[in-house]
Structures are given as structure tokens and as C-alpha cells.
Structure 1
């Protein structure tokens, strides 16, 4: 019998989904849209077959599920992981249609949050596409209805509703569980940049209309607990998916007692 470890399966999966990143190939961002669609279809097909087995290794029934040691395991696996474990800063913002959205609206989900602005010429589009890659993996698993992806603009003045509505499709984000938020008209123009500071980093506006900033993906557990950060663009998206899965399993309700167990509890 062949034994497949989480590490082996992760390595195989990574090799398959990165077939388009080898020497002599164009970066995904420079590919023609049809070529990118082909890559997405092949990658999604591979993930559809491999991810359930990978996540099964992370289920509560598996012998090596990290459980309460989830953060320790991720620290050992992912160089760009940072454990936080404190309440997330609350926010009340609006979506592209002007509907009010609060972080507390997603208290029953795991939230993947990041800050960007549509006019960013370099890392923001790459960050959005990294989040989209994670979202695709999550959405082919049972976690789809348990995870909410949120992008928040740090440039409310220029990221108009039209710009916000075009941003997701342009970068592969699926509105089924992704939303793009901005400040309300009654809020200060720098309201979301102030919110960034509450999450531990900065977007500093410059005179040429750009912003100097870092790149951080925030993971907020159910109940509003700020669980962790994944820094930069070099983290392995599979590790973020496994971390989300670990949080999901951590919150699973115990099975309902059987009729016999309830009967015995009476005595």
C-alpha cells in the first residue's frame, strides 16, 4: 500500500497547477485571455480531483489533523505566516451598489480580507489574482459557503462604483462569495486608509496619486477573531487553503446524540 502524506500530495498538486509558470512561458498576467481561461480550466480540473483528498487529510478524522496546534503547524510550513489571535477591527462600509456592509455581517464565516486600490500599477492586481487563486480552490470544496472574500479600496475617491464592478471580473474574483467595499460618502476620504492602520500596515498617498503600501492578506475567524496574516505575494496559496480548512474543522458542531444516547442520559 502506498502512503501519501500531506506534504507529498501538496507537492504533486503544486507541480500540476504551476505548469504554466516554467521557463520559457509567459507570466499569467501577460497571456491572452483565452490562454488564461485554458490555464484556469486545466488548473481547476486538477484541483477538483486532488483537493478533496488533500483536505481529507486535514479533516478531524485524520490522524495528523493539527487541531489546536493549527498555528504551530502553519508556522512550520509557511514562512510568510503570522499568528495574530485577537479581535479584528470592526468596520461599516458600502459595496458598489451602496449597500451597507459590516464585518459583523459575516460572523458565521471565515473572512479573507485584503486592501487594494484599482489604480495601483503593480502589486494590487497581483494580490487580487492571488486571492482569486485561493478562492477558486476554496470554491471547489465544501468550504465555499463558509468563507467570504473581501477587498477594501484605499482610494474611495477614484474607485467609483463602475470601477469597483469591473475590478472583480478583470482579476478572476467570483462574486458568489467575494465583495468589494469602499467608504460611505459621509465618511472621510481616508477612512479606509485609517482602517488599514488598525490592521497593522499602511497605504500612504503620494502627490502623483499613487499609494505606497505593503501587501497583507488577513484571515478572520468566525466570531470576528483576527486569526492570522499571510504576508506578501510569495506565500503558498495551498497553505492558506489548508489553514482555512483547519479553521473550518475547528468549528464543526459535534454530532447530534443518537436516540439510544439520549435515552441513556435519562438514567
Structure 2
């Protein structure tokens, strides 16, 4: 499937937003549970954090109340899976930013190696991986925080970044989704999940699928998937 086609079809997701929101979030989670083995439903308050961006500006998770947050942990000198994770986030962002959801979704990457990931590194990492700074931030520790603060935060999100003597970190790959009220609603594990499944889940959160709605024909889900060529 060609990426330009995917981006074009992503716009079509907006046209079926009302249909997606007709399902409750629980129903959608059930659908994803059947179709996406790397999907994990979560429902609890997301761990709060206050960090800083490449320009030294303080940023908290609470600053993004009212938006859906797609969050991941990486470190810039990672030689293998972190760059692939960044590219996957860029792919997802590309899909979302071709739709009206762009202003309602914030992407956040957090470094687990603040001593090496300087402001210049943070500033240029997104450019190297085609991430759009309009709704993406790469955050690091504040000057008054320990070097381990972001690794500890990752552990609060359920996965570890363990340092090795060679300066690398052994870790898993997880993409977290936080709703507009600051609740952690899902994790997509690894890199083999279907990006459009994450986009559809984000779309449901943007359109507040937890509110009561009437039911619709089950075929709507398949229509959405066909729009994305899945």
C-alpha cells in the first residue's frame, strides 16, 4: 500500500467520525481486541509529569487536557528500534494530520537519556524522522530532576529502560494513548500493529465515543478499514 494513498484515505476517516462514535468505547475496544493482537485496553489515570522541551519551556501532561495524547518513550542514540518507533509515530501522525483531528491530537515523545539528548538533539530529532512540530514535542528532564526521572516515568507506564555498561538501554516498544481528560486508555505494543487501528481508536476518543449513542450496523467498521486498504 502506497503511503500517499494512505494519507489521502485518512481524510475519509473524518467523514465517518459520527459513525464511529455511534459505538461505545467498550464496543470499539472489543472490536480492536478481535482484530489487533498488539492492542491493550487500559482505563486509569495517566501518570502525571512535568518536563521541558528543546527550548527549555516547562510542559506538563495537564497542559493537554482537552486533547488526545499519543505518547511514547525513546532515546536518540538508540541504534535499532527507537528510530523505527519514531518512524511509526510519524506515519500515524501523518494519517491524523491529514484529517480534522490534527488540532485535537498531541504527540509527545519523551527521552530516557536526558544527559545525551541535549536541546540540539531534541530539536533535530523530529526533522530527521519527518515528525510535524505543529503537534509533536520531544521532552526531557528539567534541571531540578534526576537523570533517571524519565526512565522512572516510563516504568510507571508499564515498561522499563534498563541501562547497559555500553551506554545503551534495553527496553520494549509501546505507544500509549491518553484521552482528553488525562486517562490512559490504551497501549499498542511493538511495531507490528496496524497504524489505522490506532488512528480509529484515537478518532473514537476525539469524538467522545463513551457518550451514549444509538447502535449502528456492524458493517461500518469494515467500511472504515476498507477506506484504509486493510
TM range (shorter): 0.7 to 0.9
> Residues of 2 paired with 1:65 and 1:143: CA distance?
17
Name the residue aligned to 1:67: 24
Structure 1 stretch 74-83 or stretch 119-128: which is displaced more?
Answer: 74-83
Contact 1:127 1:215 in 2 (8 A): yes
Q: What aligned pairs does 1:210-249 form with structure 2 within 5 A after superposition? A: 210-249=168-207
TM-score by length of 2: 0.87
TM-score by length of 1: 0.75
* Cα RMSD for the two superposed structures: 1.8
Deviations 1:19-68 (A, max 9, x none): xxxxxxxxxxxxxxxxxxxxxxxx23x234322334434x2246x94333
- Unmatched 5+ stretches in structure 2: 213-230
Report how far residue 80 of structure 1 moved. Answer: 0.2
Deviations 1:132-176 (A, max 9, x none): 000000000000000000000000000000111110000110000
Q: Which has the higher contact order (CA 8 A, sep 6+)?
A: 2
> Residues of 2 paired with 1:234 and 1:130: CA distance?
10
Q: What aligned pairs does 1:143-162 form with structure 2 within 5 A after superposition? A: 143-162=101-120
- Unmatched 5+ stretches in structure 1: 1-15, 18-42, 255-267
> Residues of 1 paired with 2:19 and 2:125: CA distance?
40
State which structure, 1 or 2, has the greater radius of gyration over its C-alpha atoms.
Answer: 1
Q: What aligned pairs does 1:1-267 form with structure 2 within 5 A after superposition? A: 16-17=1-2, 43-44=3-4, 46-57=5-16, 59-61=17-19, 65-68=22-25, 69-250=27-208
